[in-house]
Structure 1
Amino acid sequence: MLSRRTTVAAASSSPGSAGTQSAPSSSGECEPERRRRRQQAETYHEQTKHSLTDGYARGPRGLDWANQPNPFLRFLSSPLVPLQHFPLPEHRSHGKDLPLYHSVFSAVSPAAPQPLSHASISQLFYDSLSLSAWKTTGASTWSLRVNPSSGNLHPTEAYLLSPPLPSSSSTAASSSPFVAHYAPKEHALDIRAVLPPDFLPRFFPSSSILVGFSSIFWREAWKYGERAFRYCNHDVGHAIAAVAIAARALGWDARLLDGLGCTDLSNLFGLGMGTSSPHPPEQLPSRPTRGRFPWVEMEHPDCVLLVFPAGLAAGSEFSVDYASLSGEISKLRSLDWFGSPNALSKDHVCWDIIYKTAEAVEKPTTAVDRFSVDPFCGSGLLSEGLYKDLTVREVVRRRRSAVDMDGDHALKKETFYQMMLHCLPSGDLARGEKQGRPLALPFRVLPWDSEVHAALFVHRVVGLPKGVYFLVRNEDHLDSLRKAMRSEFEWEKPDGCPDGLPLYRLAWGDCQDLAKQLSCHQDIAADGCFSLGMVARFEPVLRERDAWMYPRLFWETGVLGQVLYLEAHAVGISATGIGCYFDDAVHDVLGLKGAEFQSLYHFTVGRAVQDKRIMSLPAYPGPDIDA
């Protein structure tokens, strides 16, 4: 039952869901070019599947430790602005003013919008993208971050575009609007350029900032080979959600500026500017090739978020003129850009299909897109008592990826249902309304209706029978899912399932061995309380909207994964994202044929087993800390 392989060419059609993206024609590309781009995305996706019968996707046969990429990018010789540090999470007496974790999901803002300042920017990055700890054992030492990453390799880089930042310290703030790269090791800003004074005020509300992301594919490809492009985009989604949640704790909101294209983002972040960094050759190698390829260390622009005071859109409507904004962004190339990026490795491997696919799925500027901010919708809350009364900072900075689960801990049914409620994109809707629109935190940062669902393998949830369940995150897809999946599935609501939670039991039975097998024979998928596969509407999305939705589907899985991470830690257990799984074996279990739906990410939630050989050290040791 688990050995059949499907092909993208066998894709079936599905009616589209109501979304907020523009029509495909908005890119202005001819149909043959759009088809070429879709085919490249589909080819990549098919080629990089792991298979029970045909083996794993291509990757390095061993790890070249001498060329492990440096996880920290710095722009040498650029001005460095240190950011403010904050009390450690265990110092509860110093964090009484921070909102409780569960309160950030409430429709009532947990905090009045904080003024834009050096301190608030410091807090935003400290609680989203900074280091969370150092780990050491024997001769090895490595850092952990607030935002997770596949293999702890961290291909995601962050940028800030900000007005001048007031500060009580004249040496710590920028007196001009600026573009900066965030340096997590130092918790500081590499100033890349000074912006024209009217650039941000002309297009965005007062007290707004832009936070952008780029990816260095080589960091992931060093370990994972061709499949790395998938993992880089998971990480982008995790980073998006991390910033959105940290922004909410400051009384701010965030929204993806998805009308901008790849070239706009490159100009906005100053990628490749002010430096003699080599560029990719016009003709890539036709196969994975080892050698000295410095250009593989270049950053690929992913996306940018507008971060602004919550409630601003409700009080005074504002829009973004993407056509004019794109024109002004192009002028930023002429700025004086400071600093040059440090080298990450001496030698490299060029995984050609990654760069061919990245080019194919680059998004053009879609000037007809309309920017909008929906009212905030709170998520359903069964009981505050289900959480540990932890602050946002305590949860986000204690987040870890479990390496092993104990295979024993059982989750209460009410806690499981609460976690699922926080996974819903639309939050706590009125009776009769459907899930799908991105209204709740952190999904509201995405401008498209949800395309990702969750197939759950329940192992140990007290009061919930073992078996396979399905969380429908966009109820416009329910009929298509039922038609596409096995006819014998029950599609029954489990006992005690809250109203408004579209969770269905598909089949009864112990599925621990099955979950382990599907996730590349990893025990961790069977030893948690539950594991899951994130199933996305796939081929129809690429056809309806365009190839540039391919990475965005992975972003959505990363956003959902970040919620699962934080929910697990907020109730006192742990979680881990799983990128290694047998794609089509998952589809076989669910009965999915063709490419209408595809599994894009796996996850497991349970109680972690701590390795006592590993010592934990503070992320940023100071004079009052004995490291």
Structure 2
Amino acid sequence: MLLLRRCCHHVPPRRAAPPLPAIHRVAMSSAPASPSATPSSSPAAEYHCRTKHSLTAGYARGPGRLDWANQPNPFLRFSPSPATPLPNPPPPAPVPYPALFHAPPPPPRPLSLDSLSDLLFHSLALSAWKSAGASTWSLRVNPSSGNLHPTEAHVLFEDPREPSRLVFSHYAPRDHLLEARATLSAGDRSALLPRPATAVLALSSVFWREAWKYGERALRYCNHDVGHALAAVALAAATLGWDARLLDGLSDQDLGRLVGVDKGCPAPAPADKIKMVSGKKGPAPWVERQHPDCALLLFPAGSEEPEVDYGRMSDALREFDELEWVGKANALSKDHVVWDVIYKTAEAVKKHQPMPGEGFSVSPWNTSSKLSEGLYKDLTAQEVVRRRRSAVDMDGEHVMGKEEFYQILLHCLPSGEVSPGGRQGPQSALPFRVLPWDAEVHAALFVHRVSGLPKGLYFLVRNEEHFDTLRHAMRQDFEWARPEGCPDGLPLYRLMKGDCQRLAMQISCMQDIASHGCFSLGMIARFEPVLDDKGEWMYPRLFWETGVLGQVLYLEAHAVGISATGIGCYFDDAVHEVLGLKDLEFQSLYHFTVGAPVVDRRIMSLPAYPGPGIDA
């Protein structure tokens, strides 16, 4: 029997903690949340406020209980379609983990089934199977809220065995293979794969997989997962000597054609029907449709910049409507519950065209600051990404060294190591360089157990252009003091001293894991000004940025020998109250905790895939 297990976005057990409310195991009730800030006419802001968890008004609307009979299948397949098994495991090309951040990428490997296998095996593949009693479930290299995995991946590449054609394939992680869905003549490939590009990797989401458990808040979590996947792909690409950059000038319609959302997939439902059946259980196969999220261009690092013409690329993608598509998607559940606000908001935040003057550019490759040798375990990057796990509990005792803490935060900086007098802002360090906008996300840190660092509330300013605005928006009695011994290039500030363990636990939906780690944090994004200045389409992208940052925290924790967990359940406006934030200028979008895990010895771990000498 295949069952869901908790992965990231922790949900707390049923418990009472007066005067704060008890919380259901699935982290929601049917009571609507009550935002402290008045939502604007922005659909994104309205959805965001509607789906806040509240200390006083309850949790964002959701199922209240888990319908195990209709738990979505975590594996999407298109049958019948030609399948290409990928080498398992791929030929080794180990890269020391610190070299990802402190050295330029290795010489680029050519495109082949081996290199494609390597990319996917170390970013989006299964990492293990777990078993306890009668239950068995899989884990993946890329983390997901509740281990539900709404994110699907697709690859467009020149067939290494037949270079005269381009192949568009869906990646099937359960069996580590590519399902060919469409082929086209390579001809003039420059519109879709401008040289020296290696491949295009697209991501899409099946909202139903998250909504089954989390209801209306699921759209947030799907976009967290997109961010985790973006970082996972960018890091795996770097080990191959490849760079990765969002093709953010493509419209959602372009992306839908690329992914084939109307090819072999459930037909869309009329808008009036969505509203009519909202919140009711019954067959609604259209909720299993893929939502196109984004596409990445993969190309040799350090090479000449690919000349991407978004107009030509969009014209070429129109021809995808006329291709012969192969395969039909399998059904994921028999019955469904429709949460109409998810689909209404997803439609409202689509990107319909590039911004004026928007083009494709590649940032200079910046490395990150290094404090000293020996802070990390002797692991390769490939070992770290495949050993990554989401902790389900922390021991509440482990003390992290101050140098480890500072090094982790240095790797969270978007610009990497900057010259004296330079400022953090443009995203040019790995893996943040995959994103084409300047950093919009900061981190409020609750430091519990870091040797040589006083307990208290700290703040990491990831874009120093925002410093004055942040300081003005937050509580005026905060210290904004530089911690003793803090590296010069790390924009970290202590806001106040004191034991914040109980506070961190309370605002994270009463979850002890937020206080039992070495530190926890809330990711604070510049919010309403971004939507006003750029457009509603930035709403999911803010969550992508938090997911990229979260992936760094996951890997850094495992590289120093401990663990981490993403926390999607927190009381939004209680977080804002702690910081003194009073409107929608800044919002908390994701929480995290880092510490020493408590391992459940009752759970048996099995290999992800059968292989030489493995009988699984």
Q: How much has 1:202 moved relative to structure 2?
A: 3.7
Q: Which of 119, 126, 147 is the aligned partner of 2:142?
A: 147
Q: Which runs of 5+ in 1 are unaligned?
A: 12-34, 88-93, 167-172
Contact 2:163 2:186 in 1 (8 A): no
Q: Which of 75, 80, 84 is the aligned partner of 2:83?
A: 80
Match of 2:299 in 1: 308
Provide the secondary structure at the position in 2 that maps to 1:380: coil
Matched, 1:346 2:346: no
Provide the secondary structure at the position in 2 that maps to 1:101: coil
Match of 1:298 in 2: 289
**CA deviation map 1:163-211 (0-9, x unaligned):** 1124xxxxxx887310000000010001000023135334511352001
- The one-letter code sitting in structure 1 at the alignment partner of 2:107 is A
**CA deviation map 1:400-454 (0-9, x unaligned):** 0000000000000000000000000000000111101001000000000000000
**Residues 47 and 380 of structure 1, relative CA distance in 2, 3 Å threshold:** same
Q: Which has the higher contact order (CA 8 A, sep 6+)?
A: 1
- The one-letter code sitting in structure 2 at the alignment partner of 1:260 is L
Provide the secondary structure at the position in 2 that maps to 1:279: coil
Provide the secondary structure at the position in 1 that maps to 2:146: helix
Q: How much has 1:573 moved relative to structure 2?
A: 0.3
- The one-letter code sitting in structure 2 at the alignment partner of 1:418 is Q
**Residues 587 and 151 of structure 1, relative CA distance in 2, 3 Å threshold:** same
Q: How much has 1:384 moved relative to structure 2?
A: 2.8
Matched, 1:381 2:370: yes
Matched, 1:101 2:97: yes
Matched, 1:194 2:197: no
Match of 1:333 in 2: 321
- The one-letter code sitting in structure 2 at the alignment partner of 1:339 is G
Contact 1:406 1:608 in 2 (8 A): yes
Matched, 1:59 2:65: no
Q: Which of 48, 53, 59 is the aligned partner of 1:50?
A: 53
Q: Which runs of 5+ in 2 are unaligned?
A: 1-18, 22-32
Match of 1:32 in 2: none
**Residues 353 and 390 of structure 1, relative CA distance in 2, 3 Å threshold:** same
Q: Which of 270, 291, 303 is the aligned partner of 1:281?
A: 270
Contact 2:191 2:309 in 1 (8 A): no
Q: How much has 1:475 moved relative to structure 2?
A: 0.3
Provide the secondary structure at the position in 2 that maps to 1:81: strand
- The one-letter code sitting in structure 1 at the alignment partner of 2:110 is P
**CA deviation map 1:510-544 (0-9, x unaligned):** 00000000100001000000000000000000000
Contact 1:164 1:178 in 2 (8 A): yes
Q: Which of 129, 132, 138 is the aligned partner of 1:137?
A: 132
**CA deviation map 1:186-244 (0-9, x unaligned):** 10001000023135334511352001100000000000000000000000000000000
- Within 5 Å, give how 1:395-474 maps onto structure 2: 395-474=384-463
CA distance in 1, matches of 2:211, 2:378: 40
Provide the secondary structure at the position in 2 that maps to 1:461: coil
- Within 5 Å, give how 1:157-168 maps onto structure 2: 157-166=152-161
CA distance in 2, matches of 1:484, 1:443: 26
Q: Which runs of 4+ in 1 moved over 4 A?
A: 1-8
**Residues 174 and 617 of structure 1, relative CA distance in 2, 3 Å threshold:** farther
Q: Which of 228, 241, 266 is the aligned partner of 1:251?
A: 241
CA distance in 1, matches of 2:184, 2:144: 31
Provide the secondary structure at the position in 1 that maps to 2:98: helix
Match of 1:69 in 2: 72
Contact 2:447 2:519 in 1 (8 A): yes
Provide the secondary structure at the position in 2 that maps to 1:536: strand
CA distance in 1, matches of 2:215, 2:191: 43
Provide the secondary structure at the position in 2 that maps to 1:514: helix
Contact 2:123 2:385 in 1 (8 A): yes
TM-score, normalised on structure 1?
0.91
Q: How much has 1:317 moved relative to structure 2?
A: 4.0
Match of 1:524 in 2: 513
Contact 1:79 1:190 in 2 (8 A): yes
**Residues 320 and 2 of structure 1, relative CA distance in 2, 3 Å threshold:** farther
Q: How much has 1:295 moved relative to structure 2?
A: 0.1
Matched, 1:212 2:241: no
Match of 2:224 in 1: 234
Contact 1:492 1:504 in 2 (8 A): yes
Provide the secondary structure at the position in 2 that maps to 1:605: strand
Q: Which of 571, 576, 580 is the aligned partner of 1:582?
A: 571
Contact 2:34 2:52 in 1 (8 A): no
Matched, 1:365 2:353: yes
TM-score, normalised on structure 2?
0.92
CA distance in 1, matches of 2:163, 2:588: 45
Percent identical pairs in the alignment equals 63
CA distance in 2, matches of 1:125, 1:276: 23
Root-mean-square deviation (Å): 1.7
Q: How many residues align?
A: 583
Contact 2:164 2:187 in 1 (8 A): no
Q: How much has 1:503 moved relative to structure 2?
A: 0.2
CA distance in 1, matches of 2:213, 2:521: 24
Contact 1:8 1:42 in 2 (8 A): no
Matched, 1:272 2:253: no
Provide the secondary structure at the position in 2 that maps to 1:449: coil
- The one-letter code sitting in structure 1 at the alignment partner of 2:58 is G
Match of 1:539 in 2: 528
Provide the secondary structure at the position in 2 that maps to 1:177: strand
CA distance in 1, matches of 2:233, 2:188: 23
Q: How much has 1:396 moved relative to structure 2?
A: 0.1
Q: Which of 564, 587, 592 is the aligned partner of 2:553?
A: 564
- The one-letter code sitting in structure 2 at the alignment partner of 1:235 is D
